[in-house]
A and B are shown apart, each in its own frame.
Chain A
């Protein structure tokens, strides 16, 4: 069955379900949602999230920040409330904002349990594994969309998600990615290598692509700067780069046995000398950590993930930090100092050691960062006179950073609906979410593997959010949209405005905002309540507050 046929069949099925749902099945518990009561929560115990040992690690990070604040003579800003925390974490780990349902469930808990409960809920949510797998895939294999590669990549992302779900230590995961042999269908980890197959060159592997990805994704260094010539500002020489590429230089692909390491030698074109040069594999630094036996890729993988190879843990921590804070401890995220430990911030060093000493446990690293005081700092100052940019630079306030395209899309889809969009949603919603996500992110502008760079907003993005189809779909009168449900179910205007704010901005309106919204609703001369609420939704969807992590 072709892709189009499948899409068509899905569309028909989706339409049928939609029809049945809309006509026959009033959504369960929606009145509960809008009223203050909450369904009982099945808490998986905050105690298991912020254990003594996680708190100790977080405290070490905080102590380092406190020393830095003291040295810089700055006072950190206030702490955020649990709802802001929930939004922050949900965007970072699931690429969307919390659903109203989640907020209600969350608020039913005692105040001191809310933050850890949010961490626990997210880290056990399949959506989060999928989302983080996609982030890792971008770092490891980029976003190429060639005709064959689409399937390989999908396979690779699904495999990464399963690894995260199973709590696979990150060093083990990376070793598999780099060194696995076999068929891409049967051993999905090989798709790190299959990405570099160049169909236009007789299925030859482009080992320079692999070398550059290994250096950037796993070591946080840009040895690839030296691919064509010795680099004037970096310690890397052209030979360093090609010696790293040589680890992949004898890897071949065959349709029968898939990715295999063969015998032979690797040659590269030395442009300066204008000739082809044979080169043996050599790691760019810390050669004493490389084992003497094993296949080339196995040796590279063992060296890379060796517990004394500090670059590996640092690069990983720096990137996870960037996912959670919207900016890395060292920018850009893949250009860390290697031979100069003095240039590495103390915080990064503490977290890297902690990550290593706890078995490269990926989710634990996220739990530790979420538990720090610095992650829970506000993004604004209390008094006008304070120099916020200076505070952010000193880590004494949380940075305000633009959401990425897929986060905006995810937040838009979730905020346009009161119900949680996740793996348990009906097929029609899942389908709409997928189609809507892809189209929207493409129009918004997807930065691909360079997604952690800071990007100011562009005019086409603004037009898309003001006048685009997806925003129109999400804010028009429709029984599945939040707009219609709020209009129908909220007992009064003040309550309606409160639900809009909770749904879109994950917080309650201030008295001023509440008054502004109620006033809007009262002045609706000739318009329906739904239209006015729809306009408020569109206004908020375009706001800096909605479009940023803060």
Chain B
């Protein structure tokens, strides 16, 4: 199958739609191949010389305090007693409680000077996941959706964009379409939702037979309007998925006991382990969420408890990826939607603070073992070397070999760049 090479996404999207419409009568196995050929053609438009082809986002929903995690200011009044520890990255210290992560910091870059305008959870989450401010006209795609849209499918039968333990706002496909939304699942221990039928094989076969008959009936006299609905393609893909050996990627039972212990036997630990298995199976982006960081009261206690889950899970993920030689091609990002106030409130809590907070970035060939930017030890809004979430996105796209300047025409007919940020130069290799 040779498809003409398009120079713009708009052309390729409409070409895909046209192919979808033309393919309806041939069954969708053929369409799958075409879609893949097209996807690889799309990818071929921009030759990839990049190291990375997958992203794992460890998402800290609620706004973790930078001071009790990755940007401690020990001994200052804003630390409110929080201690710091040394790490394997010279001069980069973490808050006490991250001793396991400290062992992996030679492979991690700390961006401590993130700044944003949004102090509301939902809006700031949108900014973090899409790199754009919320816009009443357009829903921007999250970085995982863009990865699936821009990188080849390579015969992956399972969903290529997955959200494990999603919180309130799981990653969306935005203007790329709902087919790019993250596939949502809970604790991997409970398996993948809705892929196992409640009934036995003979009944499943009868259900599909009844469905296929109904589809043939309804298609009579409706040629040309059925195909864009993609119901048949969804059926075929669901059938493929239900029977796919790749589903094993979701099953942690194959993992040795000590690997499971390395990540910590918690939902987050299992989520991070599943994320590693999924990217090995060809999934482009996995977000694993740990919620509960919104510490308006009892800040220190909340952060101590969450660190007990986060420290082994994140450290285990980095160590395991490195040991398997997969860190080079996998970007690991750990961030929340904003930080928390340097000033502790009357309830022993910290409030929302988008004026200087931290993200961790590792793998994908980016530079590591260093810290970018600094926040003020006195707690002012002064930040050295400030960066926006959009800059972080642009950096990740550079590592993925995705052209951030590429414009996609949204359904509202606006050409929108994949990212309007500027890559953080100190993190780029070379």
Q: Which A residues are CB-close (under 8 A) to B225?
A: 379, 388-389, 392, 399-400
Decide: A455 and B178 in contact? CB cutoff 8 A.
Answer: yes
Name which of B41-49, B68-76, B192-200, B276-284 contacts chain A: B192-200
Decide: A466 and B193 in contact? CB cutoff 8 A.
Answer: no
Q: How does the 8 Å CB contact mask read for B184-220 relative to A, with 1 for contact and 0 for none?
A: 1000000001111111001100111111011101111
A459 within 8 A of B: yes
Number of interface residues of A (CB under 8 A): 72
Q: How does the 8 Å CB contact mask read for B240-258 relative to A, with 1 for contact and 0 for none?
A: 0110000000000000000
Decide: B223 and A388 in contact? CB cutoff 8 A.
Answer: yes
CB distance from B177 to the nearest CB of A (A): 7
Name which of B93-101, B230-238, B306-314 contacts chain A: B230-238
* Residue in B closest to A334 when the chains form the complex, CB atoms: B137
Residues B149-208 near A (CB distance < 8 A)? 159, 168, 177-179, 181, 183-184, 193-199, 202-203, 206-208
Decide: B241 and A463 in contact? CB cutoff 8 A.
Answer: yes
* Residue in A closest to B237 when the chains form the complex, CB atoms: A459
Given contacts A531-B203, A535-B206, are A380 and B222 in contact (CB under 8 A)? yes
Residues B91-148 near A (CB distance < 8 A)? 119-120, 122, 135-137, 139
Q: Which A residues are CB-close (under 8 A) to B220?
A: 380
CA distance A9 to B84 in the complex (A): 49
Q: Is the interface of A mostly helix, strand, loop or mixed?
A: helix
Chain B residues within CB distance 8 Å of chain A: 119-120, 122, 135-137, 139, 159, 168, 177-179, 181, 183-184, 193-199, 202-203, 206-211, 213-215, 217-226, 228-235, 237-238, 241-242, 352, 411-414
Residue of A201, A222, A384 near B412 (CB, 8 A) is: A222
Decide: A332 and B218 in contact? CB cutoff 8 A.
Answer: no
Residue of B119, B178, B213 near A539 (CB, 8 A) is: B213
CA distance A466 to B184 in the complex (A): 16
Q: Which B residues are CB-close (under 8 A) to A453?
A: 411
* Residue in B closest to A380 when the chains form the complex, CB atoms: B221
CB distance from B47 to the nearest CB of A (A): 30
CB distance from B146 to the nearest CB of A (A): 17
Decide: A459 and B159 in contact? CB cutoff 8 A.
Answer: yes
Decide: A388 and B193 in contact? CB cutoff 8 A.
Answer: no
Nearest first, the 9 closest Cβ-Cβ pairs linking A and B are A539-B210, A380-B221, A456-B230, A543-B214, A463-B194, A462-B234, A462-B238, A545-B218, A539-B211
CA distance A379 to B184 in the complex (A): 35
Given contacts A200-B352, A216-B136, are A472 and B198 in contact (CB under 8 A)? yes
* Residue in A closest to B202 when the chains form the complex, CB atoms: A527
Given contacts A516-B213, A547-B231, 15 further A-B contacts (CB under 8 A): A216-B136, A381-B221, A387-B224, A388-B222, A400-B226, A400-B229, A453-B411, A456-B177, A457-B229, A459-B237, A460-B194, A462-B238, A466-B207, A513-B217, A542-B211
Decide: B210 and A461 in contact? CB cutoff 8 A.
Answer: no
Residues A384-417 near B (CB distance < 8 A)? 384, 387-389, 392, 399-400, 402
Residue of A460, A462, A510, A538 near B235 (CB, 8 A) is: A462
CB distance from A538 to the nearest CB of B (A): 5
Q: Which B residues are CB-close (under 8 A) to A233?
A: 413-414
Q: Which A residues are CB-close (under 8 A) to B159?
A: 459-460
CA distance A184 to B404 in the complex (A): 45
* Residue in A closest to B180 when the chains form the complex, CB atoms: A458
CA distance A534 to B200 in the complex (A): 13
- 5 chain-A/chain-B pairs, Cβ below 8 angstroms: A200-B120, A381-B222, A445-B178, A456-B177, A544-B229
